Structure 1
């Protein structure tokens, strides 16, 4: 049990140190602005990647759908001509 409370104490100490370092870092307006700009650009890149992936998937879907439709129509024509 003593090891568990030592581990909890160390975890609390590390979390407190991290929170203190973050508070000190973000107390500077320039650091906050740089951080906000970095997060904003990361979000924009992620959004652009998602949109690009969507349109690529949509194009691929349409291409395969058209190919499948064409092959199904060809097969139906073969079946109809074989029945005649």
Structure 2
């Protein structure tokens, strides 16, 4: 079950990914921040935490992995949108 802290963490990570990749002229897309943050946190954070030997806990390696995962998800989503628009 997701707690409010996990949802907020995911949204902040997703917004950070958008800022790193360059936000759109409309600003931060909070729906995409929510989705990419949660998916990136789950995939990236879990993989990096497990590889670092931290187990399934939020540690710096999990935060870094979450951000990397969110960047990958956000970049993939933007690529898909640009491909669909063409």
Band of TM-score, shorter chain:
0.3 to 0.5
TM-score, normalised via structure 2 length: 0.36
Compare the two structures and name the one with the higher helix fraction: 1
TM-score, normalised via structure 1 length: 0.37
Which structure: larger Rg?
1
